[in-house]
Structure 1
Amino acid sequence: MQFESPALNIQHLKVADMKSSLSMLIVCMLFAFSQKAHAQTLRLVPTFESCSVYVQDTVLLPKQLNLQYRQADQTHWQAGHALVNSDNDAVPRTSLFYLKPETSYQVRVIDEQSKVIASNTFTTWSENQPIAKTVFLTAADFEKSGLHLTDSGTAKGWIRYVGDGQTIFDAGDQSNSAIHVDHAHYIILQNIILKGGKRHGIHLDHASNIIIRNCDISGYGRVGTHRPDRDGKYYDANNKAINWDSGINIDLSKRIVIEHNFIHDPRSTANSWFYSHPAGPNAIFLRTLGQIVIRHNNLIGSNQHRWNDVIEGYGNGKIDGGANCDSDIYGNYMTIANDDGIELDGGQCNVRFWGNQIQNTLCGISTAANVRGPSFIFNNLVANLGDERGATGSAVKNGGGTTYTHGISHFYHNTFYTRGSGIRAVGYGKDDNRSMFYGVSRNNLLVVSGNGIRDPHAPEQCDYDYDLFATPYNSAGAYTIARPMEQHGIKSKAQLRDPRHGDYRPATSSPANHAGIIIAGLTDVKNQSNKPTIGSFTATDSPSFPARKLPIQTDQQHLLITVTDTVGHAGVQKINIQTNGLTEPMRYTIQKNDAFGWLKVTPQNGTLKPGQSQALTVEVDKTELKETGMIPAAFIIKLQDGRSLPITVSVKHVSHSYTFKQLAKDCHGADYFTADTGQDQGIWFTATQDRKLGDRKLTLNLDIPQTGDYYLHLQVKCPEPGGHHDSAFLSLNNEPARQIGISPGDYWHWVTISGKSDAMRLEKGANRIELYPRESIWINQIVVNTMPLGLGQTPED
């Protein structure tokens, strides 16, 4: 079945063979005209599991409109999500969620008296396309240059290009992309292991109706020269910063499906914000004409090959920027980047982002700016944020100000568990109110070290309620909103099952259980009770994430492995695959990044049987692991039918043991600061009014036993403004002092000070650390050791 939006379905009343009066004919003609007008008023744009709804004739619409829908073979009408518009587009619009593929639906809009204002029908996309021709690719197709595709199929017969799933097709860097789909349509790329492309793995160039399915894409992009003397970016031979090289580059294309792919190991890497705005490779780049579906992909970076953004969008402030419109991004695993997990920035007109997992990025989701809207961000998991320095921003960053903010971003049923902030006004553009945005939140579980929501503007379009605020340090959380909201919000300990090992479900005692509110068209579709649970998970859900329909799950979703060089064996963990959802035997294979050669998972392949668990051994080979510190990684359990389950791995690699611990009040220079007379015994670490560096500092003199990587941990309490800001200055061994960031939180918690990375390289012998105040914070304890901290951990853990 073709992906093109179906023509408006206009119902006609047959009058043939009717022996009626002229008045009856007039009635029939009026009825037919009414039905046609209803259909023309209601524009519907479906995908597989969603549909955008637009009420186009806005001239005579009543003030109150209600959306209803049902499957065509059912009688009961379900309430849809509320219709909204924007201050630059009066058309009422919204989305339908959790639909079935290749299924017909009826939609109607009624007024407050239940009078039908508009109605229409649609059919969701089919997952089975008619194939006119299959082309079996060979390595010879890529020897001289990339594959250049210009032939098109049709809606009745697609052209399918397939690999054997074993042969690596390496295009080198002789052409800009390994596969170039050039103004072609109705094409499927399937089961291809692809390397190369000077810039991109696959370039979709003014294409439409394209499916990229079950492909392995790596080894693409330019390398360049790192220029820390300039702005830290990587520059090509033409002295231009390298950016936007992508595994899949969607370039002015529409009706694109990207599903079940593994994108990893670009040739290059991205710089961090330590130098300047990150630039570098992406897994997927979006410059679209709409109707994009990106689902069930594993997009995995590494410390050697970090993404800039995992998914980056063109035109952050443009009405057609990012995914543009009528698009779904769901069930994806997105990790290890120096900026965002995804840039939704731009049009965001019925753009739906749901069921995704993001981690090990500076920020999770960017919506700055929402130029048209509405966007829907729901049932996502953002956890364990951090760029290559360990620095964190927020789970969602918003902004745009008066110039760019016009559409509403909806945040529903998300779980955020991380250092940093939750839903935060950050900024875009040059307006004085550049951090202003329009946001609506319900039923979010915000377990963050900073503010769960921070909105210093809160215009009338904003509405926050029924969210739960907690911290990863087992305490109640906080929010800062410019006007009173969160009447039903909860500040409490989150009480989750086992977040350290990736189980973010609420425990039986959690206040999140049945504390939310039904969201019309969304929550009730999932058959929750009248009091839905806050967050992405209910107590009875599978802990596996991202949200995928899988017949397997594992007893751990996040493996924590500690490797110490002074111990004679490598770190080893066990994980069990549970197969209760299988109805017949199914083969599996382990996939992982080339950069994770030190990570061994055995057995690497085998057959899973219904009702029988399969144990995997996960081991770190110290002879191949060259970096130290907290190292993010992952591997994938790939099933023979193309579905997959990603497993997160965090390796703590310690070269040797060393600990220096001191109370701040006992440090040299503590007399310059006011001591807390309460039981906390901290000092008020505050600068002079002009914030100039001087004698007001804390000095640590260390005798380091051997050259290596060390970590500076502070136990701090940060009052307002409490953003992720530069809160102090650090000088190491008389070097010029530099600004350092302190994670927010008006309670005692541990932070690790970062520079180019979160580790300090100290030489054997005498070393001096000097801390200067900038913005006022409390400091209680200072620890220098060789052990990086996991989220929620203390140096004693």
Structure 2
Amino acid sequence: MSYLHRISLVVLMSICCWISISAQKKMQLVPTFENCSYYCDSVFDVAFDKAWNTSATFRLLYKAKDELQWKEAFAPYYDTQRFQLRGSIMNLEENTEYEIRLEKMRKNKWTTIKKDKFVTWSSCPPVKEMLKLSEMKEFKAGTGVVLKGIKGRANGWIKIIGDVAVEAPSTCRQALEIDDCKYLILENFVVKGGRIDAVAIRENCEDVRIIGADISAWGRIAVDQVHLEDSINYPASKYKRDNACFIDDEGVVIRNDAGIYLGTVGKVPGPKNIVIERCYIHDPKGHSNAWHGVREVGRAKGIPYRFWHPQGPQGIYMRSRGGLVIRYNDVVGADHYRLHDLLGGFNNGKIDGGMNVDADVYGNYLAFSQDDGLEMDGGQCNVRLYNNRIEQARVGISTAPNKRGPSYLIRNVIFNLGDSNREYSYGIKNGGGTMHSHGLHYFINNTFHISGNCISSVGYGSDVDRGMFQGYSRNNIFFNRKENNPKARGCGIYESHSHTNNHFDYDLFFDANKKDKKGEARLKSMDCEQNAVYGDPLFVSPETGVFTLLPESPAIGKGQMQMNISENKGKDVDLGALSYGASSLIPQRPIDVQADKYLLTMSCQDTGEINIKVGNLPTGMSYTLTKNKDMDWFTFDVAQQGKVVSNSSFTISFNTKAEEGKGYRGVFFVRFSNGFSIPVSVNIL
């Protein structure tokens, strides 16, 4: 036997051995509360390299352990670089054991090639020890708190109740630091202050939950507004450069001071399995610059700048090793205290940057930033973003770049955009080009009510095709509202470069700026939107933020079924985030309440009211009314606290006394005692 033959035989035997070992390996399953990521590395097949939709070859079935009927998950995603099949099983019940099986089509027959099981997380894990913060040695009134080395177990968590407020002076870098902790729940904490961050969760933490916290007044206050290179030692003429970062009293640029900071050191990409739930993160001490404007403080005060990327405090600044869940939170700046991003990512140009992998962001209210409502940029590997409401930001969501994928953007509502200059751009911005766009975005059943491009190529990196992204859209409503400035007008989808994975269809387009009102998609990819709907979606009341559908809406029943996502299984699928007959509550949350308005447009001297309809709620619940700290022009005409009675309604009345001609933006909340809320935006013309 020749040397080449012997080498070939060895290689062939090695491959056969590798295939045999791979076939025996279990799938990697990573559950959260209501979703589960899956990964399978033993599906190598050259035929898949040219296939954007693997569902014709593979499918994943799942069922609860006690159920008989198998259900099909959303189509798997095949990574041609890593020869890996992966995806997400969605809309699961928490604290439930599930069985799965991966099937491959062979000779026109589905054959099971993998079996496995998993258990979803529980909102109520077993607690072995309950502590009060006031009784712990770590707590001292008037200073920061460091919780270090507190470790429970999977079958016995430690819970700390925040029975006293943590109020830290500016001498403390963080008001609350969580270091090297596991299986720890912090519940109902009130955290104020911190020179840089209010709450810092270090990278060595795992399985830590922050539930029902009220977080405010963090970060540095600017004394100057020039770049560090143009520090206060330079003469005033230097300030004419287009630098506009805020500077603190030590001459350092103010950036990324966070309400909650998910820490990272060196190559460790942040903590793991962190839950941030029903928190109210609001009113930082400082604020971010806009993209352009006039300098506000320091010796350069009053000198305009033409273009400078926003820098300033963040609501949540994050990098994660995986398992990050951010749900049902209110993360807000204020009109005069706007955040840089509401949810911002650290190292978000890296494959392990930002939320990274196996993350859920849902049911959140995000408002008042100078840049993005939410940054998904980075790995975006099984990152799921759904049921969120985003407004009062320049951009709703940034996904540029998607380094790995897939990411899922489902049933989000983006409307009422605008930064402090009342300027806005895109609903969702994408890009990265050949160098960086390696993952697919799924845009499904979202509602946009904006002026600019709803889903848009923008760009990331230096490739000539830097605006290229990978996208799949179904069942979205793209409503381009009336816009007097022609330069600010956009379309439903703008795709600057095609990609073989891209496909867009079954979306609704409407443009209030055109005579025929026909919206459009400006696409490079072929054979798209052949089943599109063109016309007014007939929302119940878009001017007041009610985006449910009227009975005669053309969006009813015109969608395409999306396995494991579409709500009306076996029935017609509606377009948009809120199907016909659904609750009008935005963001969508598991509480049986609705308002008749979620957006108020008022004059300077005005009165108004909203009506809250209450369904079935637990007994003994109450509510509190809160508002942004800079809303001195807005006053409630009713008591700011009250009891909640099931199957009833109550009215909240208020008045405005604002200065003529300035224009104001704000939001108030009907906050319930279980941590959920109804946000109501107020725009003064």
Alignment check: 8 A CA contact 1:453 1:481 kept: yes
Alignment of 1:172-321 (within 5 A): 172-206=169-203, 207-227=205-225, 229=239, 230=241, 231-251=243-263, 252-274=270-292, 275-321=307-353
Cα distance 1:66–1:500, how it changes in 2: closer, same or farther (>3 A)? same
Residue 534 of structure 1: aligned partner: 575
Cα distance 1:344–1:627, how it changes in 2: closer, same or farther (>3 A)? farther
**1:139-161 deviation digits (Å, cap 9, x = unpaired):** 99244531111122222322222
Alignment check: 8 A CA contact 2:503 2:525 kept: no
State the identity %: 33
Distance 1:208 1:369 in 2: 27
Q: Deviation of residue 422 (structure 1)?
A: 0.6
- Structure 2 residue 406 is matched with structure 1 residue 374: yes
Distance 1:222 1:142 in 2: 23
Residue 480 of structure 1: aligned partner: 522
**1:713-757 deviation digits (Å, cap 9, x = unpaired):** xxxxxxxxxxxxxxxxxxxxxxxxxxxxxxxxxxxxxxxxxxxxx
Q: Give SS of 2:454's match.
A: strand
Match of 1:587 among 608, 622, 643: 622
Counterpart code for 1:470: F
- Structure 2 residue 111 is matched with structure 1 residue 115: yes
- Structure 2 residue 610 is matched with structure 1 residue 614: no
Q: Which runs of 5+ in 2 are unaligned?
A: 1-18, 49-56, 227-238, 264-269, 293-306, 481-488
- Structure 2 residue 79 is matched with structure 1 residue 86: yes
Cα distance 1:488–1:43, how it changes in 2: closer, same or farther (>3 A)? same
Residue 35 of structure 2: aligned partner: 50
Counterpart code for 2:666: A
Alignment check: 8 A CA contact 2:61 2:102 kept: yes
Counterpart code for 2:64: Q
- Structure 2 residue 676 is matched with structure 1 residue 643: yes
Q: Give SS of 2:259's match.
A: strand
Cα distance 1:456–1:413, how it changes in 2: closer, same or farther (>3 A)? same
Q: Deviation of residue 560 (structure 1)?
A: 2.0
Cα distance 1:583–1:310, how it changes in 2: closer, same or farther (>3 A)? closer
Distance 1:371 1:205 in 2: 25
Residue 67 of structure 1: aligned partner: 60
**1:161-194 deviation digits (Å, cap 9, x = unpaired):** 2223xx5431112221111111221211111111
**RMSD across aligned C-alpha pairs, in angstroms?**
2.1
Counterpart code for 1:145: T
Residue 330 of structure 1: aligned partner: 362
Counterpart code for 2:499: P
Alignment of 1:777-788 (within 5 A): none
| TM-score (normalizing by structure 2) | 0.85
Cα distance 1:239–1:53, how it changes in 2: closer, same or farther (>3 A)? same
Q: Deviation of residue 594 (structure 1)?
A: 2.1
Q: Deviation of residue 435 (structure 1)?
A: 0.7
Q: Give SS of 2:615's match.
A: coil
Distance 1:494 1:551 in 2: 25
Q: Deviation of residue 626 (structure 1)?
A: 5.8
Q: After superposing the two structures, state which structure 1 stretch, 289-298 or 224-233, moved more.
A: 224-233
Residue 390 of structure 1: aligned partner: 422
Q: Deviation of residue 587 (structure 1)?
A: 1.3
Alignment check: 8 A CA contact 1:603 1:617 kept: no
Q: Deviation of residue 589 (structure 1)?
A: 1.2
Distance 2:80 2:607 in 1: 56
Cα distance 1:147–1:328, how it changes in 2: closer, same or farther (>3 A)? same
- Structure 2 residue 460 is matched with structure 1 residue 428: yes
Alignment check: 8 A CA contact 1:48 1:125 kept: yes
Q: Give SS of 1:402's match.
A: helix
Distance 2:441 2:616 in 1: 36
Alignment check: 8 A CA contact 2:144 2:166 kept: no
- Number of aligned pairs? 606
Residue 89 of structure 2: aligned partner: 96
Residue 129 of structure 2: aligned partner: 133
Q: Deviation of residue 48 (structure 1)?
A: 0.1
Residue 491 of structure 2: aligned partner: 451
Alignment check: 8 A CA contact 1:467 1:489 kept: yes
Alignment check: 8 A CA contact 2:290 2:370 kept: yes
Cα distance 1:90–1:630, how it changes in 2: closer, same or farther (>3 A)? farther
Q: Give SS of 1:403's match.
A: helix
Distance 1:592 1:163 in 2: 22
Q: Deviation of residue 583 (structure 1)?
A: 5.7
**1:574-599 deviation digits (Å, cap 9, x = unpaired):** 11111123363521111222222432
Alignment of 1:302-701 (within 5 A): 302-448=334-480, 449-473=489-513, 475-484=517-526, 485-523=528-566, 526-563=567-604, 570-582=605-617, 584-601=619-636, 602-620=638-656, 622=657, 625=658, 628-652=661-685
Alignment check: 8 A CA contact 1:106 1:120 kept: yes
Residue 7 of structure 2: aligned partner: none
Distance 1:280 1:590 in 2: 28
Q: Give SS of 1:421's match.
A: coil
Distance 1:636 1:519 in 2: 34
Counterpart code for 2:596: D
Counterpart code for 2:490: G
Q: Give SS of 2:271's match.
A: strand
Distance 1:556 1:48 in 2: 30
Distance 1:299 1:492 in 2: 34
Residue 163 of structure 1: aligned partner: 162
**1:742-796 deviation digits (Å, cap 9, x = unpaired):** xxxxxxxxxxxxxxxxxxxxxxxxxxxxxxxxxxxxxxxxxxxxxxxxxxxxxxx
Residue 743 of structure 1: aligned partner: none
Counterpart code for 1:481: L
Counterpart code for 1:574: E
Q: Give SS of 2:435's match.
A: helix
Residue 785 of structure 1: aligned partner: none
Distance 1:357 1:532 in 2: 21
Cα distance 1:272–1:67, how it changes in 2: closer, same or farther (>3 A)? same
Q: Give SS of 1:500's match.
A: helix
Q: Deviation of residue 36 (structure 1)?
A: 10
**1:180-228 deviation digits (Å, cap 9, x = unpaired):** 1112212111111110111111100021110001010000011123426
Q: After superposing the two structures, state which structure 1 stretch, 60-69 or 405-414, moved more.
A: 60-69
Distance 1:221 1:634 in 2: 21
Cα distance 1:323–1:38, how it changes in 2: closer, same or farther (>3 A)? same
Counterpart code for 2:171: Q
Alignment check: 8 A CA contact 2:59 2:76 kept: yes
Alignment check: 8 A CA contact 1:176 1:199 kept: yes
| Structure having the higher Rg | 1
Q: After superposing the two structures, state which structure 1 stretch, 210-219 or 170-179, moved more.
A: 170-179
More strand by share: 1
Q: Give SS of 2:25's match.
A: helix
Distance 1:192 1:556 in 2: 30
Q: Give SS of 1:464's match.
A: strand
Q: Give SS of 1:410's match.
A: strand
Cα distance 1:298–1:109, how it changes in 2: closer, same or farther (>3 A)? same
Q: Which runs of 5+ in 1 are unaligned?
A: 1-33, 564-569, 653-797
Cα distance 1:80–1:266, how it changes in 2: closer, same or farther (>3 A)? same
Alignment check: 8 A CA contact 2:396 2:417 kept: yes
Counterpart code for 1:604: Q
Alignment check: 8 A CA contact 1:209 1:255 kept: yes
Q: After superposing the two structures, state which structure 1 stretch, 295-304 or 599-608, moved more.
A: 599-608
